[in-house]
Amino acid sequence: MKVLVEERWTEKRDRVLKIYRTPDMPVDWEDIKTTTVFLDLSGHSFGDGSLGYDPKKFSGWLGILEAIRKIESPAVIEQVWIYDHSGIRFKSQKLLPEKRQSESNISTNPFSGSLPQGHASWDSAPIGFLFVRESDAMKEYGWTKLTDDRRETIRSYMHSELDSLNQSYLGDIYSVIDLSVKKCNCCGKDTSVENGGCSGFLGWPPETNGINTYWNIAEFPIIVNPTK
């Protein structure tokens, strides 16, 4: 169900962007999948699924990690945790040094200490891995070798995509309809003609969620909140 959350009008009131919250609208993750693989082993359906890594064939997360490193050759890899309480949230965490890794724990809980009443320990758990293959990174960025700085660039990209996944599961998705408005010569009422629209914008406000890529928000300075 879509809900009108805001209208952005031109100063002449002859054009309006109607912005809707559309939490049930599916998001096209094709761009995310080009270089980033989200591996889920929890029975849920996220990202690219299990990629054939059957958890029953491994003694724990460490065995799965070693297999991914051997088969996928990741440029950067982090463990993904899920927090499932009144909604779903994801966070990824850098891996512990190899000497401190164990079958039961290869990274620390990124939700620990950030949630009230001990919910982090009750309702969060590791769910899989987020990584970018070396070959994909080289192809995507046109690199011939990986440096520490380039690995951090990849890491930032991974975190950004995980943020987008969080916004999708929170229903923080918006669509826009662009209308031209004018007075009817006969009755004096406003009439409108749709110019087009677009959907799948994640997060708020319009200045930063991608809407400004398609429309110059500065040209629509008058803000009307229909819920107030």
Residues 88 and 131 in one domain: yes
Task: Answer with the residue of higher pLDDT: 21 or 117.
Answer: 21
Task: Answer with the residue of higher pLDDT: 211 or 52.
Answer: 211
Q: Can you tell me the distance from the alpha carbon of 15 to that of 17, in angstroms, rounded to the nearest whole number? A: 7
Confidence at residue 163, expressed as pLDDT on a 0 to 100 scale = 84
Confidence at residue 36, expressed as pLDDT on a 0 to 100 scale = 45
Residues 121 and 165 in one domain: yes
Residues 97 and 156 in one domain: yes
Residues 99 and 129 in one domain: yes
Tens digits of residue pLDDT in 127-185: 888 888 898 888 888 899 999 999 999 898 888 888 887 887 778 889 999 999 998 77
Confidence at residue 35, expressed as pLDDT on a 0 to 100 scale = 36
Residues 106 and 147 in one domain: yes
- Cβ atoms of 176 and 18 within 8 Å: the answer is yes
pLDDT exceeding 70 applies to what percent of the chain?
82
Answer yes or no: pTM beyond 0.75: no
Domain end, chosen from 148, 169, 190, is at 169
Q: Can you tell me the distance from the alpha carbon of 12 to that of 150, in angstroms, rounded to the nearest whole number? A: 48
- Helix, strand, coil content of the chain in percent (nearest 5): 30, 30, 40
